[in-house]
Amino acid sequence: MALIDLVVEKIVKIPLESQDKPDILRELVRILKDAGEIDDFDAVLQGVQDREDKQSTGLEQGIAVPHCKSAAVSSLKLAIGIAPQGIDFDSMDGQPTNLFFLLIASPGLSGPHVEALAEIAKLSRSKAVCKALVHAESAQEVVELLKGS
């Protein structure tokens, strides 16, 4: 399944309510739980936190890509969260983070996981798209922006 197929309104949240990194991770995983995409909330959250403990996935220009492999999922799972106010996420450039792309993959799907992360990386280099996403007012608008419709 292509990354674009995963972009639906129920996996997008605007605005994120949390104010710090641990709560943001929890809120992102909660999006997947509430959308019925995962069953084991704790296992997925633990996987994401373990990866963040090695090094923050907060990149430059307000983007973060928390990710992990988890046996708690059988296919690729994506959640998108937007915090227009910006959150301290230990980013590389020290700037607040606004856009969060959470990606979880099952251990047997490393290839599709890598390709999905590469698509997000490419998207994150487009300043115009990122700016439009941060200023989006609804999940529907985010879906429309990403699908280019």
Partner 1 sequence: MSNPIKRIMVYVDGTEQSVTAAQYAICLASFSGAELIAYYVINTRAVEDLLKARIFLKDEQVEYEHDMEADAERYLNYINELAVKKGVSVIKKRSRGSVHREIVDSIEADDVDLLVIGELSRIRSRRDEFFDETERAMRAVSCSVLIVKDEDRVWEMYESLV
Q: Name the residue nearer to partner 1 (CB basis): 5 or 137.
A: 5
Give me the amino acid identity at 53.
D
Give, as ranges, the residues between 72 and 131 that touch partner 1 (CB under 8 A): 92, 107-115, 117-126, 129
**Contact flags string 27-56 toward partner 1, x per CB under 8 A:** ---------------------------xx-
Distance CA 100, CA 1 (A): 21
Q: Are 5 and 143 in contact (CB under 8 A)?
A: no
By rule CB under 8 A, what count of residues binds partner 1?
Answer: 37
Strand segments (E) across the chain = 12-13, 63-64, 67-69, 77-87, 97-105
Residues in the chain: 149
Question: Residues 38, 57, 81, 89: which binds partner 1 (CB under 8 A)?
Answer: 57
Interface contacts to partner 1, rule CB under 8 A:
1-5, 54-55, 57, 59, 65, 67, 69, 92, 107-115, 117-126, 129, 146-149
